Amino acid sequence: MPGAAPRSASATAPAKVNVQLAVGPVRPDGYHDLANVFLAVDLHDRVTVTEADIETADIETGGVETGGVRVSCVGPGSELVPADATNLAWRAVELLAAHHGRRPDVAVHIEKDIPVAGGMAGGSADAAAALLACDALWGTATPRDELLSIAAELGSDVPFSVIGGAALGRGRGELLTELPVGGVFHWVFALADGGLSTPKVYGECDRLRGDTPVPEPEPAPELLAALRDGDEAGLAGALANDLQDAALSLRPALADTLAAGREAGALAALVSGSGPSCAFLAEDAEAAARVAAALAESGTCRAARATTGPAPGTRVVSAPVHA
Ligand code: C5P
């Protein structure tokens, strides 16, 4: 088809907050068994995949090329996103292509809105979006369970980015059980300058624990009940993150951010995942706007964003029609 525009597909994927992150002892493979209660929130990255002959493609656009995939990225913090095979979205394309015995040959364009290296699963979201967008581009109609197992190979948080909503993650976080949520929760995220490395935060958690015996991680019944009932006061009382002390140990200034949000009227405050973003639960949209404004003024963070959860999982928002 001479002159035809290359075909492309786009998908969006949500950020998440861990409303409970219970971390068990370190396993022989270096991971930790978790009871990880995920809630997707309404901040999304958008990933567009476009058929491209990478050998002859114009690389002026900023991407790096090898092996039939190219990645480019725009938006806040995009300069911190790798444009090579270490990018989870790149690996997602390669794994799905290998699964179907085909060449990848796509340009991946990521539009970031989720804070980079913020403990909000932005990289996992990009991988999930790239996976579903490629599936739509290629018309491969990969069954859901196969997509989820490819997602788990990419990273512990990627399967949750695919399904969204709320879920309990066991194992290293990839074995998911969907959870009912009975309402909309209002959140504020305080974004920090610079990221925190997830392996370093887990390592610091182990170091701080020393030889203290660590119990098997279990979800808190009162937290699951609060989610189910849409009970924000109950949820506020049950929020828990076993990585918080480690994140605070590596980045002590986060204590000031948490305090600033509490002083501004947040029902509860915690470090989001491995940090350094901090999450604040608010009573309603107005309270969230007040907390976000106070945090932005406080000088304890780079920016603050108000949003809600749960949010849907990865969604294909545009795709070519396959006969
Ligand atoms: O699975 P993912 O690549 O996202 O994990 C990044 C790192 O986080 C791992 O290499 C490991 O150091 C740490 N991690 C862990 N236990 C988990 C999940 C992640 O120790 N359950």
Residues 235 and 272 reside in one and the same domain: yes
> From the CA of 199, how far away is ligand 1's center (Å)?
6
Which stretches of 178-251 are DSSP H helices?
198-209, 221-229, 232-238, 244-250
Q: Report DSSP state, residue 211.
A: T
Which stretches of the chain are DSSP H helices?
88-99, 122-138, 144-154, 158-163, 198-209, 221-229, 232-238, 244-250, 254-263, 285-298
> From the CA of 202, how far away is ligand 1's center (Å)?
8
Last residue of a domain, one of 158, 178, 198: 178
**Would 28 be classed as within a structural domain?**
yes
Q: Is the CB of 36 under 6 A from ligand 1?
A: no
Q: Is the CB of 88 under 6 A from ligand 1?
A: no
Q: Count Cβ neighbours within 10 Å for each residue of 11-28 and write b for 16 or more, e otherwise.
A: bbbbbbbbbbbbbbebee
- In the numeric block, the tokens 């993650």 are attached to 169
Tell me the CATH number at 147.
Answer: 3.30.230.10
Residues 107 and 27 reside in one and the same domain: yes
- In the numeric block, the tokens 């399904």 are attached to 163
Cβ atoms 157, 150 nearer than 8 A: no
Pick the residue whose CA is nearest to atom 11 on ligand 1. 199
**Would 316 be classed as within a structural domain?**
no
Residues 192 and 161 reside in one and the same domain: no
Query: Which domain covers residue 288, as residue numbers?
Result: 185-309
> From the CA of 173, how far away is ligand 1's center (Å)?
9
Residues 27 and 142 reside in one and the same domain: yes
Could you list the pLDDT tens digit for every one of the 323 residues in the chain? 556 788 999 999 999 999 999 999 999 999 999 999 999 999 999 999 999 986 544 555 565 544 589 999 999 889 999 999 999 999 999 999 999 999 999 999 999 999 888 889 999 999 999 999 999 999 999 999 999 999 999 999 999 999 999 999 999 999 999 999 999 999 999 999 888 999 999 999 999 999 999 999 999 999 999 999 999 999 999 999 999 999 999 999 999 999 999 999 999 999 999 999 999 999 999 999 999 999 999 999 999 999 999 999 999 999 998 86
Can you tell me whether residue 10 is helix, strand or coil? strand
Q: What is the ipTM of this complex?
A: 0.95
For residue 124, say whether it is annotated as part of any ligand binding site: yes
Out of 32, 120, 156, 197, mutate this one to test ligand 1's pocket (max ligand atoms within 8 Å of CB): namely: 156
Residues 37 and 160 reside in one and the same domain: yes
CB count, 10 Å around CB of 210? 6
Domain count, the chain: 2
pLDDT in the model for residue 56: 42
DSSP for 48-91?
Answer: EEEE--TTTS-GGGS-EEETTEEEEEESTTGGGS--STTSHHHH
Which residues have a Cβ under 8 Å from the Cβ of 300 and sit 6 or more positions away?
190, 253, 256, 257, 259, 260
Pick the residue whose CA is nearest to atom 21 on ligand 1. 172
For residue 125, say whether it is annotated as part of any ligand binding site: yes
Cβ atoms 285, 279 nearer than 8 A: no
**Residues assigned a catalytic role:** 16, 157
Tell me the CATH number at 228.
Answer: 3.30.70.890
Closest C-alpha among 23, 251, 1, 249 to residue 118: 251
Distances (CA, A) of 51 to 126, 273, 320: 18, 35, 11
Name the amino acid, one letter, at 152: A
CA distance 244 to 205: 9
